[in-house]
C-alpha cells in the first residue's frame, strides 16, 4: 500500500510510525503551497504524513473538524473543515451533518458542540485544553448571583462551563456581545444586565451601549497581558500599520486601537479593507491564519500564546480520530438548561459581517456583582 504504513491487522499506526513517503507527497504536498509563508520547509515533512492520515481517517469516521482561529496554521489550513470564531463554530456545531465532530479548540467549545448536537460524538484531542475565563467561575457562583439579583438577566460568555451556561439566561460571544446585552435588557424590561465572567469584555461592551452592566472578576490570560504602552510602542515602530484588538483586551488597550472585534471580525476587516500593514492584538496563530488568506498584507506579530489552544496538535487530532477519544459528555439535565441559554443567543438575528466595537467611546464604570 503506498504512502501510509498500516499494520497488517488494518489498524491505524501510531502517529510516529507515519512516514513522509511518495504516496503522502502525492496526496498532500499541494497543501504546502497554501501555508508556505507560515510553515517552514523543515516542518512540512513532519506535518504532511499526519495531515494525510487525518484526512483519510476523517473520511473513514464520518467526521468533521471545527477549527478555531487560534489553531496553528497547519491545523487551521490543512485539516480544518470549518474554521472561524467561537460564534461561527457554535452555529456550525448546531447544524453539523456528520456523526462525529472533532473540536480543534478548547474544552468549552467542545462542550458547546456537544450541548448543541447531543446525539453526535464530540471529540477533543486534549481534555486539559481549558481557558482562564472558564475556570474563573462555577455554576454555584452563578446560582449565588441569580439569588442576589433575581430581576436581572445573566448574560454569559460562551467561554464558560456547561454548568455556568445552565444557570444563565442567555449566552454571548465577542461577535454578538452588544447585541445580546441589548436584547436581554429589552426582553426583561430592565436597564441593567449582568455580564459574566470577563470583566474586560463587559467594560468594552458597556462603552458601546446605554445599558448598565455588572460583571465578574474574570479575564483572558492572553489578552489581559497587552498594555497601552505596547500599543504606543507598536505605533511608534510601525506608524503605517492598522492596529486591531480583541475585546477581551483591557479597555485602555482597546481605546488606542484603530479597530476592535472578535477574531471573526478582525479577519473580515483585514479581508475587506486590505490594509498594507496590520497588527492583530490577540493570540499568536491568528496572524498566521489571516496572513494565509491575505498574502498582500504585511503582518507585525506581537505574540501572546494561549497555552490551552496550543495543547491541540496535529498528532492529538490524529490520535483522537484513531482512538475515538476523548469523548465529551455533558450531564443531560445540565445540557438541556445550557442549550436553552445557547439557543436564546443563536435565535437572535445573524449579522452578515461580525460587528466592530467603536474604539473611540469613553470608559464607563462597570461594578462587580456583590455576592
Ligand atoms: P472569538 O473567536 O469568539 O473572538 O473568541 C476568542 C477567544 O478567546 C476564544 O477563546
Ligand atoms: Fe481562554 Fe483566552 Fe485562551 Fe481564548 S485565548 S481560550 S479566552 S485563555
pLDDT for res 3: 47
Answer whether 159 contacts ligand 1 (Cβ < 6 A): yes
Cβ contacts of 210 within 8 Å, gap of 6 or more: 191
Answer whether 117 contacts ligand 1 (Cβ < 6 A): no
Whether residue 202 sits in one domain with residue 165: yes
Report, as an integer, the average pLDDT of 112-136: 97
CATH code of 271's domain: 3.40.50.10800
> Which residue's alpha carbon is at the smallest distance from atom 6 of ligand 2?
131
353 assigned to some structural domain: no
pLDDT for res 313: 98
107 assigned to some structural domain: yes
Report, as an integer, the average pLDDT of 355-371: 97
2 assigned to some structural domain: no
Domain extent for 31: 15-130+309-323
* Ligand index nearest the alpha carbon of residue 130: 2
Whether residue 94 sits in one domain with residue 110: yes
> 11 falls in which pLDDT band (50, 70, 90)?
confident
Answer whether 110 contacts ligand 2 (Cβ < 6 A): no
Whether residue 287 sits in one domain with residue 237: yes
256 assigned to some structural domain: yes
> 10 falls in which pLDDT band (50, 70, 90)?
low
Whether residue 263 sits in one domain with residue 235: yes
Whether residue 294 sits in one domain with residue 248: yes
pLDDT for res 303: 84
Whether residue 140 sits in one domain with residue 119: no
192-240, pLDDT tens digit by residue? 999 999 999 999 999 999 999 999 999 999 999 999 999 999 999 999 9
Question: For the chain, what's the residue count?
Answer: 371
Where does residue 327 rank: exposed (0-12), middle (13-18), buried (19+ CB within 10 A)? Answer: middle
Whether residue 102 sits in one domain with residue 143: no
Question: Which of 71, 201, 222 is the best mutation target for the ligand 2 pocket, counting ligand atoms within 8 Å of the beta carbon and taking the most?
Answer: 222
CA of 367 to the centre of ligand 1 (A): 24
**Mean pLDDT rounded to a whole number for the chain:** 96
pLDDT at 8 over 90: no
pLDDT at 1 over 80: no
pLDDT at 352 over 50: yes
CA of 16 to the centre of ligand 2 (A): 29
Query: How many independent structural domains does the chain possess?
Result: 3
> Which residue's alpha carbon is at the smallest distance from atom 2 of ligand 1?
85
252-292, pLDDT tens digit by residue? 999 999 999 999 999 999 999 999 999 999 999 999 999 99
Whether residue 205 sits in one domain with residue 57: no
Whether residue 77 sits in one domain with residue 114: yes
pLDDT for res 262: 98
CA of 188 to the centre of ligand 2 (A): 30
Question: Which of 248, 266, 307 is the best mutation target for the ligand 2 pocket, counting ligand atoms within 8 Å of the beta carbon and taking the most?
Answer: 248
pLDDT at 110 over 80: yes
Q: Where are the alpha helices (DSSP H) in 256-350?
A: 263-273, 284-293, 314-323, 332-346
Half-sphere exposure of 314 (CA within 13 A, CB side): 24
Q: Which of 10-14, 145-149, 265-269, 318-322 has the lowest mean pLDDT?
A: 10-14
Answer whether 317 contacts ligand 2 (Cβ < 6 A): no
243 assigned to some structural domain: yes
Cell numbers given for 80: 480544518
Report, as an integer, the average pLDDT of 14-28: 97
Answer whether 285 contacts ligand 2 (Cβ < 6 A): no
pLDDT for res 273: 98
Amino acid at each position: 500500500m503506498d504512502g501510509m504504513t498500516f499494520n497488517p491487522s488494518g489498524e491505524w499506526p501510531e502517529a510516529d510510525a507515519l512516514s513522509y513517503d511518495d504516496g503522502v507527497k502525492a496526496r498532500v504536498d499541494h497543501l504546502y503551497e497554501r501555508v508556505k509563508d507560515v510553515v517552514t520547509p523543515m516542518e512540512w515533512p513532519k506535518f504532511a504524513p499526519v495531515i494525510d492520515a487525518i484526512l483519510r481517517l476523517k473520511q473513514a469516521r464520518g467526521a468533521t473538524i471545527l477549527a478555531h482561529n487560534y489553531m496553528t496554521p497547519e491545523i487551521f489550513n490543512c485539516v480544518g473543515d470549518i474554521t472561524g470564531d467561537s460564534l461561527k463554530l457554535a452555529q456550525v456545531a448546531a447544524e453539523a451533518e456528520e456523526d462525529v465532530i472533532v473540536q480543534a479548540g478548547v474544552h468549552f467549545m467542545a462542550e458547546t458542540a456537544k450541548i448543541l448536537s447531543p446525539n453526535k460524538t464530540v471529540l477533543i484531542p486534549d481534555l486539559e485544553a481549558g481557558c482562564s475565563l472558564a475556570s474563573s467561575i462555577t455554576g454555584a457562583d452563578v446560582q449565588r448571583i441569580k439569588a442576589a439579583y433575581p430581576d436581572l438577566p445573566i448574560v454569559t460568555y460562551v467561554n464558560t462551563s456547561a454548568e455556568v451556561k445552565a444557570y444563565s439566561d442567555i449566552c454571548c460571544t465577542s461577535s454578538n456581545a452588544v447585541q445580546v446585552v441589548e436584547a436581554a435588557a429589552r426582553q426583561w424590561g430592565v436597564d441593567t444586565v449582568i455580564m459574566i465572567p470577563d470583566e474586560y469584555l463587559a467594560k468594552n461592551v458597556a462603552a458601546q451601549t446605554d445599558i448598565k452592566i455588572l460583571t465578574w472578576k474574570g479575564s483572558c490570560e492572553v489578552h489581559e497581558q497587552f498594555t497601552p504602552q505596547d500599543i504606543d510602542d507598536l505605533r511608534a515602530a510601525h506608524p503605517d500599520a492598522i492596529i486591531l484588538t480583541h475585546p477581551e483586551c483591557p479597555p485602555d488597550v482597546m481605546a488606542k486601537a484603530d479597530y476592535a472585534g472578535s477574531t471573526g471580525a478582525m479577519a473580515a476587516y483585514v479581508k475587506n479593507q486590505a490594509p498594507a500593514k496590520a497588527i492583530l492584538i490577540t493570540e499568536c496563530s491568528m496572524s498566521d491564519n489571516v496572513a494565509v488568506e491575505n498574502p498582500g498584507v504585511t503582518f507585525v506579530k506581537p505574540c501572546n500564546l494561549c497555552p490551552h489552544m496550543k495543547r491541540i496538535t496535529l498528532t492529538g487530532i490524529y490520535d483522537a480520530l484513531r482512538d475515538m477519544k476523548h469523548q465529551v459528555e455533558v450531564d443531560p439535565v445540565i445540557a438541556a438548561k445550557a442549550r436553552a441559554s445557547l439557543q436564546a443567543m443563536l435565535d437572535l438575528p445573524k449579522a452578515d459581517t461580525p460587528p466592530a466595537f467603536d474604539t473611540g467611546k469613553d470608559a464607563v464604570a462597570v461594578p462587580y456583582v456583590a455576592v
